[in-house]
């Protein structure tokens, strides 16, 4: 789980797979939930959960699901467990809210950019979901200390497909592994 005050946290939810579980609907992927934890020996234990936002519009669109999985994969790959980082939490919540708000027509044609959470302005990209994701990648890298305007900013390509390749290579180098989500959704 990505939390507001404790960063990325691993926890278990005993009995959540039972049909009668009241927690299962609140612990689905992409849900923004209020969760109560108890300290366990190895992992924390989820004792209560309440959904704040379930991002239903993301779940209704395969393209949005793919992009949301990509966002989650990036955060998981780049943020170490237990590292507190409110800006990463806010940035992730913001992009999921933006994806949820986009209509199908806007998602492919429209222009959207994420609001910058107290960061230096980057080149504004206006290419729908793809542009939002490139903005998110750059902002995430900057918040985590992997982006330098001196090194990356002056060499940043102007062509959107080149920007996507640049970001992907940089992220994979930092994460020391290949990103899986883009490959999975390209094959669909």
Interval 24-80: pLDDT, tens: 889 999 999 999 999 999 999 999 999 999 999 999 998 899 999 999 999 999 999
Under the banding of pLDDT at 50, 70 and 90, the label for residue 185 is confident
Encoding tokens for residue 88?
């990463």
Terminal C-alpha separation, the chain: 27
Strand partners of residue 8: 2, 81
pLDDT at residue 130, rounded to an integer: 85
Domains of the chain: 2-53 (no CATH), 61-186 (1.20.1440)
- Concatenated DSSP letters for 105-116? HHHHHS---PPP
What's the pTM? Answer: 0.83
Rounded CA separation 11/18 (Å): 17
């Amino acid at each position: 789980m990505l939390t507001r005050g404790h960063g990325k946290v691993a926890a278990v939810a005993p009995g959540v797979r039972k049909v009668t579980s009241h927690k299962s609907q609140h612990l689905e992927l992409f849900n923004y939930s209020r969760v109560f934890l108890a300290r366990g020996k190895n992992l924390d234990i989820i004792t209560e959960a309440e959904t704040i936002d379930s991002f239903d519009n993301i779940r209704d669109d395969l393209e949005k699901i793919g992009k949301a999985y990509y966002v989650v994969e990036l955060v998981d790959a780049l943020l170490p467990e237990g590292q507190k980082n409110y800006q990463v939490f806010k940035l992730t919540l913001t992009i999921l809210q933006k994806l949820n708000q986009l209509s199908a027509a806007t998602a492919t044609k429209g222009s959207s950019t994420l609001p910058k959470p107290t960061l230096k302005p980057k080149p504004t990209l206006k290419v729908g979901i793809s542009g939002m994701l490139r903005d998110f990648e750059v902002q995430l890298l900057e918040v985590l200390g992997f982006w330098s305007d001196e090194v990356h900013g002056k060499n940043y390509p102007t062509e959107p497909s080149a920007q996507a390749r640049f970001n992907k290579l940089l992220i994979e180098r930092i994460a020391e592994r290949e990103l899986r989500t883009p490959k999975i959704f390209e094959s669909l």
